[in-house]
Structure 1
Amino acid sequence: MKIPTRFVSVSACVLALAALTACVAPAPVYQTSRYPYQPVQPMPQQGAYVEYGRVANIEVLRSESAGSGTSGGGAVAGGVVGGLLGNQVGGGSGRTAATVAGVVGGALLGNAIEGRNNAPRVYESYRVSVQTDNGGYRAFDVPSPGDLRIGDRVRIDNGQISRF
């Protein structure tokens, strides 16, 4: 039994496109700390302890993940998909030219997509500095300061900060 070549080509294109779309979405970033805010270094547990103070400073902390560059996998996958799609166009020498153009264009596009997904990423977090009523300073690294502003009264309850 002969399987039509157009069906095989279209099926291969769909599978290759599905494989490429899995590479497009960047990996999610999960924050581990939740509200109420956790301090940078937890204090030793000596029972319940409550302090009060004011937010003295909120600063932005930026960190960058290292990019990994391109491995060539995106170019190969893009070239395969482009070649299969280009092969569907025209006939004779026009089909050959379209196939070659599809391979080159797909390889360039696949490499560009892989490079963008593997590029360095910049992440932001915040350091909230609190001056306690007894004159000390405490710092809390948080993913977002929420509704805290400089000058706000806060309560530090067992190492967790909240608005007071």
Structure 2
Amino acid sequence: MNRVMAVAVLSAVTLLSGCAQQGLYGTSYSRSQVGQAQTVQYGTVQSVTAVRIEGRDDGVVGSGTGAIVGGIAGNQIGGGSGRTLATVVGAVAGGLIGQRVEKAATGRQGQEITLRLDSGRVLSVVQEVENGQFFNPGDRIRVLGQGRSLKVTY
């Protein structure tokens, strides 16, 4: 049974490492945005504040994987009805832990960019930091928009 536990833990790590969020960069696009017209505005960065973008905690991968691993671990304890109870408790605890691990693993470094458009309008946009590079006050930027979604790029 130790081999089964090792396979379950390895599977959990593999699944959790694959649950990274799609980038929230100024240069990343969802499939639904491809081919869609966007407005383009130009402006200047006024200020930049480092922020933390929360990770996802929808529980699909984290709690599911955690529940499986916890259930297998719990099943290794005791016998009879004690084993059943340990399996259930292990699955519930593993699911809760897995959800927290997923949220921590998918959190991202972000930046709140306050900018003044050439039109005079002042905006604030939060997006993920790309390649460790923050925008700087005074940078000339483009603001790409589609509906309520805005991206700041050079």
TM-score, structure 1 as length reference: 0.49
1: CA distance between counterparts of 2:125 and 2:28? 7
Alignment length (residue pairs) = 126
1: CA distance between counterparts of 2:43 and 2:127? 18
Asked whether the 8 Å contact 2:41–2:117 carries over to 1, the reply is no
User: Is 2:139 aligned against 1:147?
Assistant: no
Amino acid at match of 2:10: T
Asked whether the 8 Å contact 1:154–1:161 carries over to 2, the reply is no
Asked whether the 8 Å contact 1:33–1:142 carries over to 2, the reply is yes
State the Cα RMSD in Å.
4.4
**Structure 1 segment 73-112 matched on structure 2, within 5 A:** 73-80=68-75, 82=76
Gaps of 5+ in 2: 146-150
Amino acid at match of 2:142: I
TM-score, structure 2 as length reference: 0.51
2: CA distance between counterparts of 1:66 and 1:158? 28
2: CA distance between counterparts of 1:60 and 1:144? 9
**Residues 152 and 36 of structure 1, relative CA distance in 2, 3 Å threshold:** farther
TM-fit CA distance, 1:18: 1.0
Any idea what SS the aligned residue of 1:131 has? Answer: strand
2: CA distance between counterparts of 1:72 and 1:61? 28
2: CA distance between counterparts of 1:29 and 1:158? 24
Any idea what SS the aligned residue of 1:147 has? Answer: coil
Q: Corresponding residue for 1:121?
A: 103
Asked whether the 8 Å contact 2:112–2:127 carries over to 1, the reply is yes
**Residues 132 and 28 of structure 1, relative CA distance in 2, 3 Å threshold:** same
